[in-house]
């Protein structure tokens, strides 16, 4: 089946889709192919997220995340309005649960000011006017522009528009090799040649990049996100989003409560180290060879303990035990009982980039450019929120020949 295209995009997640959209807008007559290893789009992170559109309060002003998040959210809202996709902007409260966390609130407010993000520090009484059942310790932050969108409707609409504009989608494509000076890839469905290739392979992005001689200092480690749902009778306990104060030195936001677009309230996720890039079940998705490599990397990071990695592992592994998970959620919301937390089949994998040399987690988006390729290595949250702006930036870097 393989053939030649001006642009080949590996991965039909939100970044691959929005890059294809950006390329079609710039190059109306170019041939564009999106290669996806699954039989459909949205089988992994882009179809499994909660649909939260972040405001950008967490990220330092010099990061790509900060530069892309609020602009991307605005553009996604425009897209939703244009195509009648459901979204709501009910805001988010980030609440302190201890005296020490009050200092972190100040850091987040400084980020918000630097990033031109609307955020307001509120006392506990003011927080409860917004989220009556939240249980803040003295103070919290209100981010009015945080919203929730139907993420599956977004990716399906983008695909529909791309197919109408003659972008070719090819499914069940597994890349096996690179050949001919990087201008051709060998796959399970034949050879594909290209003028330029965008690697948006998510949890497999580092593996693809290594075929091109890139990502030499990096590997991806999967972290599993497990969710519970609130019992429907308790959904009214959450109006929008209730988040804890995060550890600013880690890329995870902690267990939080989100009212999604259909009115259900999800609680989570965890950030448990997983032994497979698609390890959605207890054993499902674990490959022996892959699990051994991931296990070695995790042990190395645990031993070095850079960025207090050991404490992260201990805290997250406890959340496999439901009472610990519930305890984290009940610190945020008054009046919830263990019986209010129902099992959910919602499970996600966050492919987190690790710097092999420093044995540390990468906190920002990481992008590397080859001679005829661009590799998106760390498209972690808030990549969905950022995607329309991030993809424009990525195509700019590819067409300018630089990544900084």
Residue of 382, 401, 396 whose CA lies nearest to 64: 382
End-to-end CA, the chain: 36
- Structure token digits, residue 312: 């992260």
More confident residue, 129 or 288: 129
In angstroms, the CA 195 to CA 90 distance is 44
Give the pLDDT confidence of 139-185 residue by residue, as tens digits. 999 999 999 999 999 999 999 999 999 999 999 999 988 865 668 99
In angstroms, the CA 130 to CA 142 distance is 9
Helix 64-82 vs helix 151-164: crossing angle, to nearest 10: 70
Say if residue 393's pLDDT is above 60: yes
In angstroms, the CA 73 to CA 382 distance is 10
Question: In Å, how far are 234, 291, 323, 326 from 341, measured between CA atoms?
Answer: 9, 31, 10, 7
Q: Look at residue 404 in the predicted model and tell me its pLDDT.
A: 47
Cα 266 off chain centre by: 16
- Structure token digits, residue 254: 């902690």
Give the pLDDT confidence of 188-242 residue by residue, as tens digits. 999 999 999 999 999 999 999 999 999 999 999 999 998 999 999 999 999 999 9
Cα dihedral sign, 135-137-140-146? negative
CA dihedral 370, 374, 380, 386 (to 10 degrees): 140
In angstroms, the CA 205 to CA 282 distance is 24
Q: Mean pLDDT: which of 14-18, 55-59, 346-350, 352-356 is highest? A: 14-18
Question: In Å, how far are 95, 101, 245 from 98, measured between CA atoms?
Answer: 9, 5, 10
Average of pLDDT values for 18-35? Answer: 98
The full set of domains in the chain, from first to last, is 1-89+147-217+362-404 (3.50.50.60)
Give the pLDDT confidence of 271-287 residue by residue, as tens digits. 888 888 988 887 677 77
């Amino acid at each position: 089946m393989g053939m030649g295209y001006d642009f080949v995009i590996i991965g039909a997640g939100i970044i691959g889709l929005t890059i294809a959209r950006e390329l079609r807008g710039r190059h109306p007559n170019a041939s564009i192919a999106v290669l996806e290893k699954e039989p459909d789009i949205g089988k992994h992170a882009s179809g499994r997220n909660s649909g939260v559109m972040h405001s950008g309060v967490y990220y330092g002003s010099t990061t790509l995340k900060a530069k892309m998040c609020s602009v991307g959210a605005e553009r996604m809202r425009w897209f939703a309005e244009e195509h009648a996709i459901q979204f709501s902007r009910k805001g988010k409260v980030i609440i302190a649960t201890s005296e020490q966390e009050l200092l972190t609130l100040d850091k987040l407010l400084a980020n918000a000011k630097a990033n031109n993000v609307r955020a307001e520090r509120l006392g506990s009484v003011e927080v409860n006017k917004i989220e009556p059942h939240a249980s803040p310790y003295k103070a919290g932050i209100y981010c009015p522009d945080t919203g929730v969108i139907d993420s599956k409707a977004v990716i399906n609409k983008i695909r529909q528009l791309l197919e109408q504009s003659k972008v070719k989608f090819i499914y069940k494509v597994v890349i096996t090799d690179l050949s001919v000076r990087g201008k051709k890839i060998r796959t399970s469905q034949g050879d594909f040649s290209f003028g330029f290739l965008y690697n948006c392979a998510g949890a497999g992005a580092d593996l693809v990049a290594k075929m091109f001689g890139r990502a030499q200092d990096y590997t991806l480690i999967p972290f599993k996100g497990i969710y519970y749902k609130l019992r429907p009778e308790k959904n009214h306990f959450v109006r929008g989003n209730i988040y804890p104060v995060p550890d600013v030195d880690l890329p995870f936001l902690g267990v939080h409560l989100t009212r999604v677009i259909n009115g259900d309230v999800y609680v989570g996720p965890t950030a448990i180290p997983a032994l497979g890039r698609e390890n959605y079940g207890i054993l499902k998705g674990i490959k022996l060879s892959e699990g051994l490599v991931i296990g070695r990397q995790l042990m190395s990071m645990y031993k070095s303990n850079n960025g207090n990695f050991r404490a992260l592992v201990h805290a997250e592994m406890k959340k496999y035990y439901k009472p610990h998970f519930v305890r984290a959620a009940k610190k945020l919301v008054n009046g919830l009982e263990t019986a209010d937390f129902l099992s959910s089949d919602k499970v996600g994998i966050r492919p987190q980039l690790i710097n092999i040399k420093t044995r540390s987690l990468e906190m920002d988006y990481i992008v590397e450019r080859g001679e005829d390729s661009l590799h998106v290595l760390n498209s972690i949250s808030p990549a969905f929120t950022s995607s329309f702006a991030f993809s424009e930036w990525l195509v700019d870097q590819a067409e300018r020949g630089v990544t900084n």
